[in-house]
């Protein structure tokens, strides 16, 4: 079906005001932050979608998906547009972006049962602000909180800065509503726990728009006790010393809301006023007073246990102030784009992985060594480091961060710079038995390794795709590897 016919038929489903064909908006919709440099330089190599559509009800989402399924039109679900891994990038000639803009209602805040229900287009910050008025919090605080919306947060399996206490989004989602490509609407009911077969929430959480469209989400909400917050900061000898303290706190059964260690290079970016060229270890404890105090005591005890790795303690106010300024607003995102229009450099590319306590230091060390030895443009790197920011009883994550000067055409940047570094990180992680993506999702640019990530369990993922999206209309190229990888990643004809 050609673009004109698609647009004609769309008006049978939604009003003309719900269909956006503005050229600048379609260009914006053709890729996400993965290609932010090429995007700002107007050098994107992917097709633009035919239109962005704004359904206002689950019935309209259902009708749109049915239409796309029948006509084999690729669908990219879209929410807050903060995706970082190509989940919003378009690799098909005929694509509709279905945006959650008009699914913007908070449906219920229910403090007695500690849950809130929202439509998929509600920004996290909006629900958080409402909850704070009554002394509650979502407990979810990704850096993208001011911009990201519930549909995207659930679809990417996102995680927030206070995850060590509250968990990732998968620990918060109670129930949800979603629509499959054939238009079928499924509602997963809100209960505290059940043993009714496999937990089907997990078919939806993390599907990245490649299986279904999320229209409504119910999440847990938590009582908020900011008056009890406690902050701790230390300079430490090396990353491994910091990891030992993080582990000690976790395996002793404590749950600080924040537990992080930064490499020297990464600490220099964040804590320029006190890092002193060293690694930084920091914690935040929160909750009811007794719990926050006990957690704080446990942190101090763990620091004493591993004092051979601790160089000095940092004023806790510095850590508290740092947290107050961590989130990114839409203005920050726009400013970054604006800066890239004129500067030939890239700051803050990341690849986040996870593994058990024993393995994380080994991955960190081998990635650092391999990038320095093998990356062809190592002289252009202006920073290479990382931090661990989400810890569990049995392990933690590592968020590799790299900045570089760009000496190539904008359309070649990813292949010349980002991809070779990411490839080393993914290869080393998989070789050591870790997971190649801790919280940003696979998107399109890690899909070449999806099979290696899952091994024999890829069978289950593949069957889900075949069962729910047999015509392959949902976010083509996302999670599941496709031939376009050769064209859009390796630039082969």
Ligand X SMILES: Cc1cc2nc3c(=O)[nH]c(=O)nc-3n(C[C@H](O)[C@H](O)[C@H](O)COP(=O)(O)OP(=O)(O)OC[C@H]3O[C@@H](n4cnc5c(N)ncnc54)[C@H](O)[C@@H]3O)c2cc1C
Binding site for ligand X (CB under 6 A): 33, 76-84, 87-88, 100, 120, 142-144, 148-149, 151-153, 155-156, 158-159, 208-209, 213-214, 328, 439-440, 475, 478
CB of 9 to ligand X, least distance (A): 22
CB of 76 to ligand X, least distance (A): 5
Smaller CB separation from ligand X, 60 or 248:
60
d(CA 337, CA 10) in angstroms, rounded, equals 32
Smaller CB separation from ligand X, 10 or 148:
148
Smaller CB separation from ligand X, 100 or 241:
100
Centre a 10 Å sphere on the Cβ of residue 351 and count the other Cβ atoms it contains.
Answer: 27
CB of 177 to ligand X, least distance (A): 10
Q: What are phi and psi of 354, to 5 degrees?
A: -145, 160
Smaller CB separation from ligand X, 120 or 259:
120
Burial 203-241 (b: 16+ CB within 10 A, else e): bbbbbbbbbbbbbbbbbbbbebeeebbbbbbbbbeebbb
Look at strands 395-405 and 345-356 and give their pairing.
antiparallel
Smaller CB separation from ligand X, 125 or 429:
125
CB of 444 to ligand X, least distance (A): 9
3-state helix, strand, coil in the chain (%, to 5): 40, 20, 35
d(CA 367, CA 425) in angstroms, rounded, equals 6
* Residue with nearest beta carbon to ligand X: 152
Q: What are phi and psi of 416, to 5 degrees?
A: -80, -40
Quick one: tokens of 354?
Answer: 């996870």
CB of 412 to ligand X, least distance (A): 23
Q: What are phi and psi of 35, to 5 degrees?
A: -110, 40
Smaller CB separation from ligand X, 334 or 358:
334
Q: Is 212 helix (H, G, I), strand (E, B) or coil?
A: coil
Residue 23's nearest CA partner among 45, 49, 62 is: 49
Smaller CB separation from ligand X, 88 or 461:
88
CB of 210 to ligand X, least distance (A): 7
CB of 463 to ligand X, least distance (A): 19
Within 230-285, where are the H helices? 239-251, 264-270
Smaller CB separation from ligand X, 258 or 421:
258
Smaller CB separation from ligand X, 180 or 231:
180
CA dihedral sign, ordered 90, 202, 452, 244: positive
Smaller CB separation from ligand X, 110 or 335:
335
For 472: left if phi > 0, alpha if psi spans -120 to 50, otherwise beta; the answer is left
d(CA 121, CA 149) in angstroms, rounded, equals 5
CB of 406 to ligand X, least distance (A): 19
CB of 132 to ligand X, least distance (A): 19
Asked if residues 62 and 186 have their Cβ atoms less than 8 Å apart, the reply is no
For 274: left if phi > 0, alpha if psi spans -120 to 50, otherwise beta; the answer is alpha
């Amino acid at each position: 079906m050609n673009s004109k016919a698609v647009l004609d038929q769309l008006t049978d489903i939604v009003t003309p005001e719900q269909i956006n064909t503005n050229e600048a908006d379609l260009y914006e919709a053709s890729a996400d932050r993965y290609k932010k440099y090429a995007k700002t330089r107007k050098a994107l190599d992917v097709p633009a979608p035919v239109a962005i559509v704004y359904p206002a009800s689950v019935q309209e989402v259902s009708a749109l998906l049915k239409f796309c399924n029948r006509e084999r039109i690729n669908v990219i679900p879209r929410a807050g547009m903060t995706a970082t891994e190509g989940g919003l990038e378009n690799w098909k000639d005929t694509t509709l972006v279905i945006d959650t803009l008009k699914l913007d209602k908070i449906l219920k805040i229910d403090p007695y049962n500690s849950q809130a229900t929202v439509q998929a287009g509600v920004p996290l910050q909006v629900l958080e602000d409402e909850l704070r008025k009554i002394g509650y919090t979502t407990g979810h605080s990704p850096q993208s909180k001011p911009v990201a919306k519930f549909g995207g947060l659930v679809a990417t399996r996102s995680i927030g800065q206070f995850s060590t206490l509250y968990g990732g989004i998968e620990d918060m989602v109670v129930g949800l509503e979603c629509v499959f490509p054939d238009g079928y609407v499924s509602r997963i009911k809100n209960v505290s726990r059940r043993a009714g077969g496999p937990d089907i929430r997990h078919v939806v959480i993390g599907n990245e728009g490649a299986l279904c469209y999320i229209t409504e989400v119910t999440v847990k909400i938590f009582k908020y006790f900011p008056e009890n917050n406690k902050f701790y900061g230390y300079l430490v000898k090396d990353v491994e010393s910091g990891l030992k303290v993080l582990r000690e706190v976790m395996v002793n059964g404590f749950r600080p809301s924040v537990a992080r260690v930064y490499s020297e290079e990464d600490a220099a970016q964040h804590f320029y006023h006190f890092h002193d060229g060293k690694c930084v270890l920091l914690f935040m404890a929160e909750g009811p007073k007794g719990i926050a105090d006990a957690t704080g005591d446990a942190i101090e005890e763990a620091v004493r246990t591993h004092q051979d790795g601790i160089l000095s303690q940092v004023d806790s106010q510095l850590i508290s102030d740092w947290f107050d300024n961590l989130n990114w607003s839409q203005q920050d995102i726009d400013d970054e784009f604006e800066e890239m229009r004129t500067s030939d450099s890239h700051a803050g590319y990341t690849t986040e992985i996870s593994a058990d306590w024993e393995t994380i230091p080994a991955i960190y060390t081998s990635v650092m060594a391999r990038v320095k030895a093998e990356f062809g443009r190592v002289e252009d790197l202006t920073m290479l480091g990382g931090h661990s920011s989400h810890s569990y009883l049995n392990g933690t994550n590592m968020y590799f961060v790299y900045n570089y000067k760009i000496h190539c055409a904008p359309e070649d940047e990813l292949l010349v710079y980002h991809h070779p570094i990411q490839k080393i990180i993914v290869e080393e992680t998989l070789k050591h038995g870790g997971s190649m993506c801790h919280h940003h999702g696979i998107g399109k640019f890690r899909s070449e390794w999806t099979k290696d990530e899952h091994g024999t369990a890829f069978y289950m993922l593949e069957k889900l795709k075949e069962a729910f999206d047999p015509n392959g209309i949902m976010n083509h190229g996302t999670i599941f590897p496709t031939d376009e990888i050769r064209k859009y990643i390796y630039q082969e004809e």
